[in-house]
Amino acid sequence: MPLLIAVAAASAFAQTDQGRITGNVLDPTGAAVASATLEVQNQETGATSRVGASSTGNYVVVVPAGTYKLTVTAAGFKQFVRENITVPVATTVGVDATLEIGATSESVTVVESTPILKTESGEVSYNVQTKYAG
């Protein structure tokens, strides 16, 4: 019976216009920051959602497909800001936040970074280009 519920939940998620942003909130040593508050703002509409990190520093935010700004705050740490997070329909996007020690009035904004990796699934894809040398 639990398998049936999991399949039904996965099917329902796949049929919506929503995606997920998930990740871990960590301190500079890699330890979880359980007291963190996360704010996710749709950069096109301005709609905002707030969640708290779990006791293990994990978070999950379900949002409509779009482009988002993630702001993470916790007492004793600088504010973490990551912009231009693209969330496609029925996709989970992983964004980990490593907080730096400092005042919450200070912030660290991630502007350029490596592309977001899909670490939440085992999906693998390759682009293979062929060139005829004849």
Q: pLDDT tens digits for 20-60?
A: 999 999 999 999 999 899 999 999 999 999 999 999 999 99
The domain spans of the chain are 2-110
pTM: 0.70
89: left (phi over 0), alpha (psi -120 to 50) or beta: beta
Q: How much of the chain exceeds pLDDT 90, in percent? A: 63
Distance CA 91, CA 65 (A): 9
The residue ranking higher by pLDDT, 133 or 87, is 87
CA–CA gap between residue 32 and residue 2 (Å, rounded): 30
**Average pLDDT of the chain, as a whole number:** 82
Length of the chain: 134
Whether the CB-CB separation of 22 and 59 falls below 8 Å is answered with yes
- Give the 3-state DSSP-derived string for the chain, with helices as H, strands as E and coil as C: CHHHHHHHHHHHHHCCCEEEEEEEEECCCCCECCCCEEEEEECCCCCEEEEECCCCCEEEEEEECEEEEEEEECCCECEEEEEEEEECCCCEEECCEECCECCCCCEEEECCCCCCCCCCCCCCCCCCCCCCCC
The CATH-assigned architecture of domain 2-110 is Sandwich (2.60)
| In the predicted structure, residue 111 carries a pLDDT above the cut 90 | no
pLDDT at 5 over 60: no
User: How far apart are the C-alpha atoms of 63 and 66, rounded to whole Å?
Assistant: 8
